[in-house]
Amino acid sequence: MTTRKAATGKAVTYREAVREALREALVADERVFLMGEDVGRYGGALGVSLGLLDEFGPARIRDTPLSESAFVGAGIGAAIAGLRPIVEIMTVNFSLLALDQILNNAATLLHMSGGQVAVPLVIRMSTGAGRQLAAQHSHSLEGYYAHIPGIRVLAPATLEDARYMLAPALSDPDPVVIFEHGSLYNVSGTLPPDTGPVDIDRAAVRRPGTDISLITHGGSLGKALQAAEQLAADHIDAEVVDLRTLRPLDDATVTGSVRRTHRAVVIDEGWRTCGLSAEITARITEQAFYDLDAPVERVCGAEVPVPYARQLEEAALPQPADIVAAARRAVG
């Protein structure tokens, strides 16, 4: 699922790309440290930080108790004091326990203090469903975080972004939340030689097209690209836009694409109502109303706690076939 097929670089997994980004950050800046449940001895619930404890020691690869609110808040305090903490919340499902700290402190202190208290904190968490983990372990709550003024929200969907988004996130003077979709960690591909930090203000067109815009992010990018291939088969040339940055949204790239294609399908694994897909849809119609030839279509997670049983989980999540169907409706 890398964008460049060029095999000049070495083969890596998404997991390794994130790990490499962490290692680079820890080497480059001694103010950086990683903190979270089982990031050390265990190597990270999803194996991302495996080996980092041996390399950097327990002070900088810091295992925390099961206390999401306290260790996220501690990350905020450490950032205020001038360090550059990277806090890992095992999964977005547990992040609700820290949401008060993120919304009422991390995102708020700078403004509420009249510009005195900046919080250069990076929070990483995995997100999404697809592994039959049932209702309490399958959330996609990116929309909750994209709702909060004062923070930046990133969703690396490719190996390059997994590898190169962390550095710019760490150089952001304000809080950044990074969502890594659980289904991506084992994706592997070849990473081109260091292209340097990526531009985290821009969405990316992952597949150019002329007939319709498929707008998505994170774990759904692959599905959108699959759908685009299927659509190509019946001569519908779909453009696939990867939002990459969920806050602030890159309106120019999204609207620009829709202005060219005149049609759009928004794909989001999260629940439909009041989710990220609603905002994208609203913005497109606000900004490209007179360019639209059809209402914007949404393909989202069903409004249901994600069930365990495979056939039910599959039915609850956006599938390429759903995207294809929506695109056909839009093209009419």
Ligand X SMILES: Cc1ncc(C[n+]2csc(CCOP(=O)(O)OP(=O)(O)O)c2C)c(N)n1
* Residues in 89-128 at the binding interface with ligand X, rule: CB under 6 A: 90, 94, 97
* The entry of ligand X, other proteins, a second copy, none that residue 219 binds, CB within 5 to 8 Å by partner kind: none
Closer by beta carbon to a second copy, 93 or else 158? 93
Contacting other proteins within 128-157 (CB under 8 A): 131-137, 149-150
Segments in the chain forming alpha helices (H)? 14-28, 52-56, 68-80, 92-95, 99-100, 109-112, 142-146, 159-164, 166-171, 221-233, 251-261, 276-287, 310-316, 320-331
232 part of the interface to a second copy, by CB under 8 A: no
Active site residues: 68, 137
148 part of the interface to a second copy, by CB under 8 A: yes
249 part of the interface to a second copy, by CB under 8 A: yes
Say what the alpha-carbon torsion angle 63, 66, 67, 71 is, to the nearest 10 degrees: 20
7 part of the interface to ligand X, by CB under 6 A: no
Q: How many CB atoms lie within 10 A of CB 241?
A: 29
Secondary structure of residue 184 in the 3-state scheme: coil
State the helix-helix crossing angle for 251-261 and 276-287, rounded to 10 degrees: 60
Question: Are the CB atoms for 93 and 131 separated by under 8 Å?
Answer: no
Question: In this chain, which of 235, 289, 290, 310 binds other proteins, going by CB under 8 A?
Answer: 310
Q: CA angle 273-279-281, nearest 5°?
A: 90
- Picking from 297, 313, 219, 302, the residue whose alpha carbon sits closest to that of residue 263 is 297
Instruction: Report the helix count and the strand count for the chain, using DSSP H and E.
Output: 14, 14
Contacting other proteins within 30-49 (CB under 8 A): 33, 37-38, 40-43, 45
Q: Which two tokens stand for residue 151?
A: 């923070």
Smallest distance, ligand X to C-beta of residue 331, A:
43
99 part of the interface to other proteins, by CB under 8 A: no
What binding mask, one character per residue, do residues 239-278 give for other proteins by CB under 8 A, x or -?
---------x------------------------------
Closer by beta carbon to a second copy, 57 or else 149? 149
- Picking from 44, 26, 223, the residue whose alpha carbon sits closest to that of residue 126 is 44
77 part of the interface to other proteins, by CB under 8 A: yes
Q: Which two tokens stand for residue 63?
A: 């295992």
Contacting ligand X within 33-72 (CB under 6 A): 37, 66, 68
Q: Write out the residues near a second copy by the rule CB under 8 A.
A: 93-94, 96-97, 99-100, 103-104, 107-108, 111-112, 134-136, 143-144, 146-150, 247, 249, 271, 273-279, 281-282, 285-286, 289, 292, 294-296, 298, 303-305, 307
Give the residues lining the site for ligand X (CB under 6 A).
37, 66, 68, 90, 94, 97
